[in-house]
Structure 1
Amino acid sequence: MRGGAAYDEIADWYEAEFLPQRAVADDELEIGRTLRLLLGPGDGPCLELGCGTGAYADSIRSLGRTPIGVDLSAGMLRYARRRLPIVRGDATRLPVRDGALPAVVAVMVHTDMPGYPEVLREAARVLAPGGTFVHVGVHPCFCGGFADRADRNAVLIRPGYRDSNWTKESWTDRGIRDKVGATHRPLAELLHMFLDAGLAFERFAEGGAPTPIVFAVRARRSG
């Protein structure tokens, strides 16, 4: 899951400087629209994996659901506790009983989680039969250390997309990745993780323009 120590070091910067910028960027990336489309209205608890400072709690709450957050970073959770109930924990070993939740989401965090296959298996484990899992993440085809997005109208894709790796290489020094790094997996590998975890695909979405920055999936626990 998120590197707790790495995010502890940038928590104050993230809350004071990055989060206000991200609020504007999230509209451009269509993250709110994607959550409304894929998660949709409902009730009961919705567990957010890697909740960080709780930036998406209001979006989840607006759908009638009750957000609950889990994250490794104590620094990020200092801010999150203002926005939603939280627990400090590892998404690869969730402190939740089997089949307990109607919904689980992971929003813009899978690149922070080298153990994302285990995270997906845990999400499937804690979901009730037929429960919904929504993944919203950076688009693996167009975002990563191999992608230069300095010109949004002409994204330059260098060799490296097909390599699963961790890197701090980034086209900008004003974002997150140059500070904490990112794990990249090609699209096919990412999708196979869902199937291996026992999650059945239902819907897909992309966000951002002119080249997608966000790739999202709605899946359900099989059986």
Structure 2
Amino acid sequence: MKLIIATNNAHKAQEIRQILADSFSALDTLREAGLAIEVVEDGATFAENAVKKAEQVLAAAPGYDAALSDDSGLAVDALGGAPGVYSARYAGPQHDDADNNRKLMADMAGVPDGQRGCRFVCAVALARRGRPTVTAEGACEGVLLRAPRGENGFGYDPYFYYPPAGRTFAELTGEAKNAVSHRRRALESLRALLAQERRQRGA
């Protein structure tokens, strides 16, 4: 099965490729497929955005059997789940990771250590030709630090402390992060749903 990753985010594409490297005969990014497509992420949930991206990209990629998309972000308890679906543009549409982190730290300045729970959430969608689009979600619980730690990762990783590892996501290697990440959990859930679907067809 030829799969196209429906994202222009190089970091996400790398993570997805590492996790699914053995699952598809071909796994290409939009750039590798020669596609320049931007999907407006205006859904109210991560799942809505993921489905929209996957289906639009598959429609524009006739040489592929399926398109995989994800939408993910950080949900902070003290902020009522924000940044949420606005994680990539929390400080505004023209701002970068550093700007988003500065805004997040400003918004959390008065929140005590015991109330800084948060989670990374990921929704994945697999659009397939002639078949229903399948979605799955995964989450990874953590604590939001007051200062960044680590040089790896991207986005909010330097501030996301993962208690089981005793480190932030930015302090973990790519392999260690991928083993426990919200994206891996969502992809594993998707794999389970597809396996169940195959069993039902064979019954």
Instruction: Confirm or deny a common fold (TM above 0.5).
Output: no
Normalized per residue, which structure has more helix?
Answer: 2
Using the size of structure 1 for normalisation, the TM-score is 0.32
Higher relative contact order (CA 8 A, sep 6+): 1
Using the size of structure 2 for normalisation, the TM-score is 0.34
Tell which structure's C-alpha radius of gyration is larger: 2
